[in-house]
C-alpha cells in the first residue's frame, strides 16, 4: 500500500456510477480533467482523486444532480465511498474529500450541447 494517489475512475468490471458506484449507468456528464480532495492523512500519506473525462451517473444520482440536491448526493456518496475506499480515506476526511470532489465536478462540468 505505497500508492500515493488513486484514481476514482478505475472500474474493474465496466463503468459504474461515479457518485455511488451503482453499475446501472443512466447518464454521462462531460467534464474537464481535474484533481480533487487532496489531503495528507495521519500517516503522512498524500491522497487525491484524479478525475479523467466524463462522469457516469445512475438514475438516482442523475435525479439528484438535475434537482441540484447536492447535499443529498453527498450523503449518498459518503455511504458508498466508505464501503469502497474506507480503508484508504480516514473517516474524518471522507465528507470533506467527497464534498471537494463534487464541488470540482460542478466547476468542471461541460455543457452537453
Ligand atoms: Zn449513482
Q: Determine the distance separating the centroid of ligand 1 and the alpha carbon of 18, expressed in angstroms.
A: 7
Q: Residues 26, 62: contact at Cβ < 8 Å?
A: yes
CB atoms within 10 A of CB 105: 21
Can you give the residue range of the structural domain that contains 75? 6-108
Q: Determine the distance separating the centroid of ligand 1 and the alpha carbon of 27, expressed in angstroms.
A: 10
Q: Determine the distance separating the centroid of ligand 1 and the alpha carbon of 5, expressed in angstroms.
A: 23
Q: Determine the distance separating the centroid of ligand 1 and the alpha carbon of 62, expressed in angstroms.
A: 7
Q: Residues 79, 36: contact at Cβ < 8 Å?
A: no
Nearest to 98 by CA among 2, 5, 16, 19: 19
pLDDT in 10s for each residue of the chain, 113 residues: 444 444 445 545 568 899 999 999 999 999 999 998 777 777 787 878 888 889 999 999 999 999 999 999 999 999 988 888 766 777 778 888 899 999 999 999 998 76
Domain count, the chain: 1
Residue 89 lies in a domain: yes
Q: Residues 56, 21: contact at Cβ < 8 Å?
A: no
Residue 1 lies in a domain: no
Q: For the whole model, what pTM was predicted?
A: 0.78
Q: Determine the distance separating the centroid of ligand 1 and the alpha carbon of 43, expressed in angstroms.
A: 31
Q: Determine the distance separating the centroid of ligand 1 and the alpha carbon of 73, expressed in angstroms.
A: 8
Amino acid at each position: 500500500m505505497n500508492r500515493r494517489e488513486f484514481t476514482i475512475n478505475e472500474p474493474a468490471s465496466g463503468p459504474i456510477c461515479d457518485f455511488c458506484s451503482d453499475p446501472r449507468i443512466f447518464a454521462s456528464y462531460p467534464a474537464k480533467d481535474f484533481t480533487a480532495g487532496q489531503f495528507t492523512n495521519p500517516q503522512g500519506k498524500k491522497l487525491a482523486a484524479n478525475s479523467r473525462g466524463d462522469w457516469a451517473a445512475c438514475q438516482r444520482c442523475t435525479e439528484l444532480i438535475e434537482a441540484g440536491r447536492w447535499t443529498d448526493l453527498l450523503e449518498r456518496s459518503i455511504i458508498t465511498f466508505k464501503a469502497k475506499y474506507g480503508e484508504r480515506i480516514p473517516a474524518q476526511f471522507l465528507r470533506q474529500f467527497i464534498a471537494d470532489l463534487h464541488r470540482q465536478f460542478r466547476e468542471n462540468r461541460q455543457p452537453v450541447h
